[in-house]
Structures are given as structure tokens and as C-alpha cells.
């Protein structure tokens, strides 16, 4: 009787340890707070993965750039030392050059246009370029349309931005465009940005409303201009090391979870766009709601000549023509 009980206890212990061994904890990182659009999208992704794999996979979140800047996190995913990153496209072009085309200023008319491009053949075609670069792109999430803030003056037309030291992402497409406005682009990793604005190392920065809100830039920036100069998509990237171990069924779960994450992140971007401007005004920012978009587009013409050479005028037109 005793030996039967012992065998049962041992079997139960083996069963428990097998269950424990079967659970994989994935490290997911992103630049902003857990309550931001990135936090919302990442949480939905992780909940869906945990549910779809019956708890065999779950996530540990590293918000607020706890694992480094976006570029460092993408490198870590490529190397397999980090499992997942929810990142803006800003530094991604350094790894997968085909992504750079979506970073062209004033390429997208509005959210509807941008989302149709990302979800359609063009966006899906770009995702297919990642595996050959040692990264798995599970799907598009979203950062939002970028707007300019600064500590010096209102920006209504490009001349108003001339001479401002503006923090930009490490992204040549953005920087080439901003130079045509007379801006002095200053590339800098996102975790350094708040301190640089506080100390006056840079005069301003440009980011979507959800980022301006969640990063509390209203504490260090007086002027916000709704320039909407660049649509900033984002991506959920996975280490091939993890992907290659997944069964076909689990790969499907991860893919579906990424779609739901993208939808949730876009919804949060919409909410922040709708409510955030009033919030930032309440926090003391002066908001210029109407800028001279035509003047900005006119100023960009020299940059568009070089974009056409780099990406192909036809490829740019294909994106512009999506309805």
C-alpha cells in the first residue's frame, strides 16, 4: 500500500515538473508605459497567446525601454537574447531596408489610407522580407501620425521649424525629409529623449499623440503643432529561435494573436488622438491645430526626388494610389 502511494506521489511530482517545464516565458519589450498603446497591444497579444496555447506560452513585459532602445531590442530579437519587441518602424529600416518606404513624410493621407496599405498586399509583402534578415514579423501594430513639439515657438509652416534642433529617430528617410524644412535633425535613442528635452540639448521632438501623452512631454515642451508629417506604423517582431520551435498550430495562434494586438493598438491610438489633445492643452501645451500642409509638401519636393531614386517612383505611387 505504502509503495503504491509512493509511486502515485512520484508520478504526480513528475507530472507537475513536466507541466512546469512545458511553460515558456517570453520576454517582450517596448519603449513606452504599460498603459500606452504599445502596452495595450502587447498585453492583448500575450493574453491571446497564453489562451491559445493553454498556458504553455506566457509573457513577461519589459515596458519603458527597460531592455534598451528600440534598435538595441531589435538586435536582441535578431540574436535571440530577447523574444519579442513591439517597435516603431523608425530603426527597422537598418535591418530590413524595404520597410523604409513607409517612413516617407506625407506619403499617407489619413489613418484609413495607412491601415489599408499595411493590411493589403504592399504591407504584407514587406512583412515577408523579414525572415531572410533573421527576424520574424508577426504583424503590423501602430504608433500613429507624428506631430512636432518644441520649447521655442509655434510651428505653422516649414520656416517656423527652421533652425530648431529636433530629436529624430535613427532613420535617414525621416532626417532627409526634415532637413528640407530647415530642421537640424538630431538622432537619439528614445530613452535619452526626456532628459535631453529637459536640459535643452534639443529644442524639440516629433512623435504621435499617444507617445507625447504617455511620455509626459508636456512637462518639458510648450508648443505642439499637429503637422501629421509622417505616419508611423509599428511591428510585433519575434526571435526566429522561438518561431522555429513552434508547431504549425502554435504558429497560427501567434499570428492570430498579432492581428488582435494590432487591432487593439490601433483602437488605443484612435482614443488617444480623440482625447489626448485636450489633455495636453490642460497640461499647459499650446496646440496649433491647423498647419500649412501645402507649404510642408512643397518644401519636401527635393527630398521626394531622392526618395523616387531610392524606392522607385512607381512604388511610391502604388502606395499613394491605394483607396
Q: What is the pLDDT of residues 63-104, one digit of tens each?
A: 999 999 999 999 999 999 999 999 999 999 999 999 999 999
pTM of the complete model: 0.90
Cα–Cα distance for residue pair 57/150, rounded to 1 Å: 43
In a domain, 3, yes or no: no
In a domain, 107, yes or no: yes
Task: Give residue 170's pLDDT band: very low, low, confident or very high (50, 70, 90).
Answer: confident
In a domain, 2, yes or no: no
The grid coordinates of residue 318 equal: 502604388
In a domain, 94, yes or no: yes
In a domain, 152, yes or no: yes
Residue pLDDT, tens place only, 249-306 = 999 999 999 999 999 999 999 999 999 999 999 999 999 999 999 999 999 999 999 9
CATH code of the domain covering residue 316? 3.40.190.170
In a domain, 1, yes or no: no
In a domain, 307, yes or no: yes
Instruction: Please count the structural domains in the chain.
Output: 1
In a domain, 90, yes or no: yes
Q: What is the DSSP letter of 131?
A: G
Contact 262, 180 (CB under 8 A): no
The grid coordinates of residue 30 equal: 517596448
Cα–Cα distance for residue pair 260/270, rounded to 1 Å: 15
Range of the domain at 62: 15-320
Amino acid at each position: 500500500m505504502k509503495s503504491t502511494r509512493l509511486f502515485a506521489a512520484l508520478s504526480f511530482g513528475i507530472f507537475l515538473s513536466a507541466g512546469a517545464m512545458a511553460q515558456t516565458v517570453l520576454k517582450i519589450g517596448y519603449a513606452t508605459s504599460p498603459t500606452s498603446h504599445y502596452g495595450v497591444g502587447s498585453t492583448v497579444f500575450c493574453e491571446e497567446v497564453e489562451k491559445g496555447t493553454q498556458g504553455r506560452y506566457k509573457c513577461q513585459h519589459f515596458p519603458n525601454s527597460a531592455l534598451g532602445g528600440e534598435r538595441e531590442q531589435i538586435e536582441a530579437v535578431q540574436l535571440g537574447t530577447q523574444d519579442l519587441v513591439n517597435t516603431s518602424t523608425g530603426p527597422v529600416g537598418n535591418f530590413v531596408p524595404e520597410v523604409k518606404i513607409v517612413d516617407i513624410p506625407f506619403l499617407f493621407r489619413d489613418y484609413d489610407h495607412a491601415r489599408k496599405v499595411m493590411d493589403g498586399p504592399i504591407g504584407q509583402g514587406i512583412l515577408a522580407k523579414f525572415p531572410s534578415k533573421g527576424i520574424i514579423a508577426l504583424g503590423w501594430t501602430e504608433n500613429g501620425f507624428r506631430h512636432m513639439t518644441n520649447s521655442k515657438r509655434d510651428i505653422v509652416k516649414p520656416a517656423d521649424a527652421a533652425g530648431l534642433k529636433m530629436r529624430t529617430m535613427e532613420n535617414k528617410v525621416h532626417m532627409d525629409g526634415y532637413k528640407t524644412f530647415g530642421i537640424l535633425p538630431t538622432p537619439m535613442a528614445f530613452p535619452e529623449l526626456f532628459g535631453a528635452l529637459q536640459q535643452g540639448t534639443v529644442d524639440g521632438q516629433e512623435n504621435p499623440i499617444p507617445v507625447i501623452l504617455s511620455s509626459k512631454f508636456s512637462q518639458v515642451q510648450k508648443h505642439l503643432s499637429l503637422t501629421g508629417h509622417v505616419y508611423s506604423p509599428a511591428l510585433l517582431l519575434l526571435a526566429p529561435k522561438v518561431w522555429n520551435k513552434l508547431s504549425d498550430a502554435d504558429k497560427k495562434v501567434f499570428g492570430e494573436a498579432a492581428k488582435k494586438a494590432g487591432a487593439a493598438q490601433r483602437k488605443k491610438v484612435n482614443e488617444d488622438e480623440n482625447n489626448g489633445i485636450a489633455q495636453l492643452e490642460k497640461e499647459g501645451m499650446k496646440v496649433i491645430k491647423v498647419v500649412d500642409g501645402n507649404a510642408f509638401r512643397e518644401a519636401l519636393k527635393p527630398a521626394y526626388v531622392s526618395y523616387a531614386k531610392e524606392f522607385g517612383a512607381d512604388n511610391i505611387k502604388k502606395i499613394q494610389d491605394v483607396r
